[in-house]
Amino acid sequence: MTVTGPDAAIAPSPSTFDVRRHAVPAAALALVSVATALAFSRVFSAAGFVPALVVAAVLPHAVGFAGRWREWSAPRSAIVGLAVTFLALAWISAGDFTTFGVPTPRTGQRIAHLMDVGWDIFRVGVAPVAPRPGVVLLCAITMAITATLAEYLARRPDVTIGALGPTLVVLVLTGTLGTSDLRIATTFAYVAAALVAIVTANTERLTERRTWFTGRRLASDASVIRSAALLGGAAIVASLVLTPLFPGVDSPPLLRYRNRSGTGGGGLGDYTTVSPLVDLRARLGPRSDVELFRVESPRPLYWRLVALDRFNGTTWSVASEAADAATVFRARSRRGAVRQQFSIRGLGDLWVPAAFSPVATTMGNARIIKDSDTMVAPNPVTGAEYEIRSRIEEAPTDAQIAATATRSDRMPDAVRAARSLPAGLPRTLYSQARAITAGQETPYGKAQALQRFFTDGSFTYDINVDLGDGEEAIGAFLRLRRGFCQQFAAAFAALARANGLPARVVVGFTPGTLDEQTGEYSVRGRDAHAWAEVWFAGLGWRTFEPTPTGPLPGQADARLGSRPVPSDTGAPTTTTTTNAPATPTPSNAGNSGSSGPPRDLLVSTEPAAPSSGFDLDTIRWLAIPVLGVLALAGMLLISGLGRRRRRRRRRTDPVPRVRITGAWAEALDACTVAGLPVSNALTPLEQVDALGRHGAPPAALPPLRDLAGLYVDATFSPRPPTAEASATAWTAVTAVRHTLVAGVGPRERARRVVRASFGAGQAESSR
């Protein structure tokens, strides 16, 4: 005789465990999770995310299968599965920060740092983004939680389609955040995997004579479907209401990763960043003595940060395709390269300081914007230590200078773009540019003449001038002849372009102060600087220093002067300087912590600000556990209401036979919640005897036996049961429930509530 009861049967011993019966549905569900993980291809621009997300998708199901074999409860399997998956993700994302594979506090710090960086990119990035470690880690954690929930729901006796819910939510999320590329492929893969999972799961249900497709009679209890619908609706409403409240959600991203070139290849895509010149003066202000990094180098050099090769009349920016640095460097000669060892302390962005032009680095996963030789780190460089080797430009010979006018080298497209100027620039700028370079026969000679124009002593270096860097600012600077490095560099580049010379503005640092004890150059905020580079046929990009030398923050370094431009210009390089107190400029220059400065700054010259209580990061991290607790409370509440409705429906059914079978199912539910094993392979009286052997309270056995007899009579007797018999059955249920909770402490009661809410004790009752 088969008893209709909960499917949470006594698990078979490992020796009798039917591997095939459990492995096929588990593998099918894992296939659904893998299909969901691969749907992130619509979010990422390359396949670097696949290993981590596939591991996060498969491990929870593997641990869940092992848990069934070892007779673990569903909550225990879920907890162990999450722990194992998170440990694997720690090895994948922060393996270099473990000790012989064992996570340490440094591992936690590294993971927290990656998650913070990933969150920043997630908040401002535009799909498709590069598979950077921080973003991949966040997506892998999401995938691990999703797979764990799917595995947990699959363990419930009354859920088949519901186990697909978590993965379906993530699939919709990837479609919302991602591009339209691969939409059909990813959707088809998910639907195919889901159908396989449904068929395999329900094949096993049919062997137990359960209803096809749902795993139970739909009319008997739709609380799971209603609960899922309620939770899903609440999630949609919360996303619509809360998402617009996130800071920066309506702001344009500072780093756009969308690959507009269509070249693919797994690159980072197009970089677009606001001009760092806007905030350069703030870095040279009162906090300019904060140390940003240290460099061990055999000679003082300019430490190049980013080259800005796009000018729209208002903003200098960089917008070029990035590539893997190691691949690019393999084609570059290292002969005569100068070694630099960097220790970053106060920089918090992705740009990598390096002498021009780099040919090798020890920084793993570094990228390089080939058009401008701008290096990009995989994560914010705070705390990074790396080596750079650069081929330093030498002063050209007279023959090379003469050849810049006669050589017919094909000008690359990126170089040709570096000659363009916006239509709104005043025509007087062009006439002034030609007047300055009059009489020069070579492009190189024109660049030299422009440099002499700015360094001949007629310009005053004044950090307190506020001219910006737009088209009107350039004209104002040339009229007033007063400004600091940002105006000198921007005006020089604009005048060079007006002469037809490809030119760009470079932001970085002067060499810094040599520490005689360590042999390192200490680079501080006051060393932040802007200069220019000009391209010549046969020579490539060459550095020009239009800012006069001097001791003030942001001035050119006197040790280098105009080098590597030849010093035989015959023009003095001194100028008048004004050491007026700089007006404090409002700035959000960030701290030197792992989170880095705000993303609108390329360089941080501010020390860590004292904590004033709850900042946005604190609120964000506090909100995660609070929202988790609220979600758990909501699930417990919904589950409790569902159990009450089911009990009321069982008890008030108009058919006495159904009321009695419902009473038996309710009693078995109570036993399962109490931790007693229930099997649908036993007769009712055998079930009562088994409960007695497994620790059921003695006082619960008499009402259980009475109820078992009533159930057998109602099920197999040709005479229909009376209303009095159904009332007696529910009186027995009340007695069983009271005896099962008698003497149980608060902790055990809470455990039973959670167990009941997450699937234990939901038996069938026929209608």
Mean pLDDT: which of 85-94, 311-320, 517-526, 627-636 is highest? 517-526
Mean pLDDT of 71-77: 82
CA angle 90, 270, 593 (to 5 degrees): 45
Structure confidence at residue 628 (pLDDT): 65
Q: Can you give the length of the chain in residues?
A: 767
Domain membership flag for residue 256: no
Domain membership flag for residue 108: yes
Mean pLDDT: which of 239-248, 447-456, 463-472 is highest? 447-456
Q: Is the pLDDT of residue 425 over 60?
A: yes
Distance, C-alpha 585 to centroid of its chain = 32
Domain boundary residue, one of 198, 229, 245: 245
81-138: per-residue pLDDT in tens? 888 888 888 888 887 777 777 788 888 888 887 787 777 666 656 667 778 788 888 8
Cis omega before residue 357 (within 30°)?
A: yes
Structure confidence at residue 123 (pLDDT): 62
585 phi/psi in degrees, rounded to 5: -100, 125
Domain boundary residue, one of 518, 545, 578: 578
Tokens of 397: 């010979």
Region class of 212: left (phi > 0), else alpha (psi between -120 and 50), else beta: beta
Domain boundary residue, one of 222, 245, 268: 245
* Co-location of 660 and 572 in the same domain: no
* Co-location of 565 and 668 in the same domain: no
Mean pLDDT of 129-154: 85
Tokens of 295: 């460099």
* Co-location of 19 and 138 in the same domain: yes
* Co-location of 23 and 123 in the same domain: yes
Structure confidence at residue 718 (pLDDT): 85
* Co-location of 661 and 548 in the same domain: no
Largest CA distance in the chain: 121
Domain membership flag for residue 586: no
Tokens of 177: 């955040």
* Co-location of 83 and 210 in the same domain: yes
Question: By mean pLDDT, which of 334-338, 565-569, 695-699 is the weakest?
Answer: 565-569
* Co-location of 551 and 692 in the same domain: no
* Co-location of 558 and 661 in the same domain: no
Structure confidence at residue 168 (pLDDT): 85
State the average pLDDT for the chain: 74
Q: Is the pLDDT of residue 458 over 50?
A: yes
Question: By mean pLDDT, which of 378-392, 429-443, 554-568 is the weakest?
Answer: 554-568
| SS3 annotation, 679-733 | CCCCCHHHHHHHHHHCCCCHHHHHHHHHHHHHHHHHHHCCCCCCHHHHHHHHHHH
Q: Is the pLDDT of residue 224 over 70?
A: no
Q: How confident is the model at residue 533 (pLDDT cuts 50, 70, 90)?
A: very high
* Co-location of 193 and 71 in the same domain: yes
* Co-location of 55 and 195 in the same domain: yes
Burial tier of 522 (Cβ tally within 10 Å: 0-12, 13-18, 19+): middle
Query: For residue 538, how many other CB atoms are within 10 A of its CB?
Result: 17
d(CA 483, CA 180): 48
Query: For residue 148, how many other CB atoms are within 10 A of its CB?
Result: 25
Residue of 206, 167, 201 whose CA lies nearest to 187: 167
Domain membership flag for residue 702: yes
Structure confidence at residue 543 (pLDDT): 93
Structure confidence at residue 234 (pLDDT): 55
**pTM of the complete model:** 0.45
- pLDDT greater at residue 612 or residue 386: 386
d(CA 200, CA 24): 7
401-417: per-residue pLDDT in tens? 888 887 666 788 888 88
* Co-location of 105 and 225 in the same domain: yes
Domain membership flag for residue 676: yes
Q: How confident is the model at residue 12 (pLDDT cuts 50, 70, 90)?
A: very low
44-65: per-residue pLDDT in tens? 877 778 888 899 989 998 888 8
Mean pLDDT: which of 228-232, 253-257, 573-577 is highest? 228-232
Range of 700's domain?
A: 653-757
* Co-location of 558 and 686 in the same domain: no
Could you give the 3-state DSSP secondary structure of residue 89?
A: helix
- pLDDT greater at residue 91 or residue 248: 91
User: How far, in Å, are 516, 639, 642, 663, 765 from residue 646 at the CA level?
Assistant: 80, 10, 6, 11, 10
Name every residue whose Cβ is closer than 8 Å to that of residue 201 and which is 6 or more positions away in sequence.
Answer: 25, 28, 29, 154, 160, 163, 215
Q: Buried b vs exposed e over 207-226: b needs ≥16 C-beta within 10 Å? A: eeebbeebbbeeebbbbbee
Domain membership flag for residue 539: yes
Domain membership flag for residue 385: no
Structure confidence at residue 92 (pLDDT): 85
CATH number, position 495: 3.10.620
Region class of 167: left (phi > 0), else alpha (psi between -120 and 50), else beta: alpha
Domain membership flag for residue 271: no
Domain count along the chain? 3
DSSP conformation class of 321: B
Structure confidence at residue 170 (pLDDT): 86
Residue 44 near residue 129 (C-beta atoms within 8 A): yes
d(CA 301, CA 318): 23
Q: Are strands 540-544 and 385-390 parallel, antiparallel or unpaired?
A: unpaired
Percent of the chain whose pLDDT exceeds 70: 71
